[in-house]
A and B are shown apart, each in its own frame.
Chain A
């Protein structure tokens, strides 16, 4: 009985860690711009597919492939921000969000053109049999994903709270005008936030591809789940996305295990909705902060 429960839990953590990584990317851009970047899922796909390209097609060493993949994703984000977000010069969030939708469609078109429609995968980071805990198995790659998620959180926390650049980036979100008055280059900060979130997305893509495979049109589903994770934890809260993602993942697998697998997404969404209704700022959100930001 306990074994079965543990297995559901591990399965939930595997899925949840994927959502958490995507959710974190949403938070970075949201923190700097208040934009919801719906192309976030595509960055994850770019991560997975480019990693395959560098690793399996170009036969590059693992770490070099990782570095190239992350840099390329950052470059794509830079181009995206320069060509679409910056020239927009509007405060209308709706338009900006729709632009990210349109950009996501362009990226999907390009990915399909380059990689075709079939799924891709590469070997897990470490070879070996899955870990057995209390009779339940957990894949080694899941541990990698969890570890990477944790590292990203710590790194981002340190960046946003301890470095000048990070603090400046947060200031841009609270009040762009005031931020520029105190000499923060707001538009450069927005660009950095896009690059950073794309890199986090790409890291996520690299980490999850051995588990879930990657194909050109996985982005929208990842974006929706990641968005829900970020919302559940409270938009803009780094660790909120992680807790949100893991919560949704575990809820899904518990529903699949104990209720009915066809309803797993519905139950997770219902719980998300009730959290929104009863605690609109999310589990970790701060209501006063939300008012300050005018949302």
Chain B
């Protein structure tokens, strides 16, 4: 099916940027639901991302499972890890939950370093994405698949947030005590959201590994978790669109700053600081509010 899709551009550098943006966006929208709707912070998302990448790679490379099956198994493994982490962490709030997830992410990083195939050197020759005998060879095909999966997850997330679970989540963000009083299963809900975000991260990790075909623990560090958090905060945590926009911006930004050479880190930091200062609510909520007010004025 993917083969039938048009090649919009031959520039594989641009396409690769789109692939990485899409992969980051998948993690970011999961994080958005967790943070924006359920009010939980995670500094360990790179851990789930890493589990997804490693589990899927090992299953498909060493055990010869089809890539799609490997990715699903990896998602299940990440989900289980999320349950194990969520159960005791749920008693924690704010900074304490943050440090628990941070600890989890770091432990995963150490485990990959110590016991992952290849150790700190990582391992390569990971099979390319494929389904039912079709192997995705060109970046363009991979891009279509990544953005296709992203689209599906977006639709799923938006539907969920607009329906009953979403309302419950927002209530949870508002007041946990009230939720309890209303008879909502707060603990169950929190675990479900946590697992959902972990599964999103895992899928993204698997896509990354099968696309790049080489992974090492250095891609799955606390630094990446913080970067993911930055995407969500910059884009706006109150809507999953924020995660998408933030992910694309944060992925493209360093590429556009190449002209600054050694000063690019500095400029990057300055841009982040200024955006946080002046676009406090996040880019997407601000832009939608602007558009909304324009429309209202026109109608009035």
Contacts and interface: CB of A to CB of B under 8 A. Distances in A.
> Do any beta carbons of A and B sit within 8 angstroms of each other in the complex?
yes
Contact of B96 (A109, A263, A276): A276
A270 B107 contact: yes
Interface residues of A, number: 42
B114 A263 contact: yes
Contacts of B35: 94
A98 B104 CA distance: 20
Given A105-B265, A112-B265, A265 B104 contact: no
Interface stretch (B71-79, B86-94, B128-136, B202-210): B86-94
Contact of A110 (B100, B266, B277): B266
Contacts of B91: 277, 280
Interface string A224-265: 100110010001000000000000000000000000001101
A112 B110 contact: no
B269 A105 contact: yes
Given A265-B106, A273-B104, A101 B226 contact: yes
A104 to B, nearest CB: 8
B233 interface: yes
A295 B94 contact: yes
Interface string B225-245: 010011001000100000000
Contact of A98 (B111, B268, B276): B276
A113 to B, nearest CB: 7
Interface in A64-88: 84, 87-88
A105 B264 CA distance: 11
B280 interface: yes
B136 to A, nearest CB: 35
B222 to A, nearest CB: 6
Contacts of B94: 93, 295
Given A109-B269, A113-B266, A276-B100, A98 B233 contact: yes
A99 B277 CA distance: 8
B213 interface: no
A277 B101 CA distance: 12
A270 B265 CA distance: 33
Contacts of B103: 228, 269-270, 272-273, 276
Given A112-B265, A231-B99, A295-B95, A102 B272 contact: yes
A148 B225 CA distance: 34
A87 B273 CA distance: 12
Chain B, interface size: which category?
Answer: 35 or more
B102 A224 contact: yes
Interface in A95-143: 95, 98-99, 101-110, 112-113
B219 interface: no
Nearest to B102: A224
A108 B96 contact: no
Contacts of B233: 94-95, 98
Interface in B15-56: 35, 41
A85 to B, nearest CB: 10
B263 interface: yes
Given A94-B233, A109-B265, A102 B106 contact: no
20 contacts: A98-B233, A99-B276, A101-B230, A101-B272, A103-B273, A105-B268, A106-B266, A112-B265, A113-B263, A220-B223, A231-B99, A263-B114, A266-B110, A269-B103, A269-B106, A273-B107, A276-B92, A276-B99, A277-B91, A277-B100
Given A90-B280, A265-B106, A272-B103, 19 more contacts: A94-B233, A95-B233, A95-B280, A98-B276, A99-B276, A102-B230, A105-B272, A109-B267, A113-B263, A220-B223, A224-B106, A227-B99, A227-B102, A262-B113, A263-B110, A266-B110, A273-B100, A273-B107, A280-B92
Interface of B: 35, 41, 88-89, 91-96, 98-100, 102-104, 106-107, 110-111, 113-114, 222-223, 226, 229-230, 233, 237, 262-263, 265-270, 272-273, 276-277, 280
Interface of A: 36, 38, 84, 87-88, 90, 92-95, 98-99, 101-110, 112-113, 220, 224, 227-228, 231, 235, 262-263, 265-266, 269-270, 272-273, 276-277, 280, 295
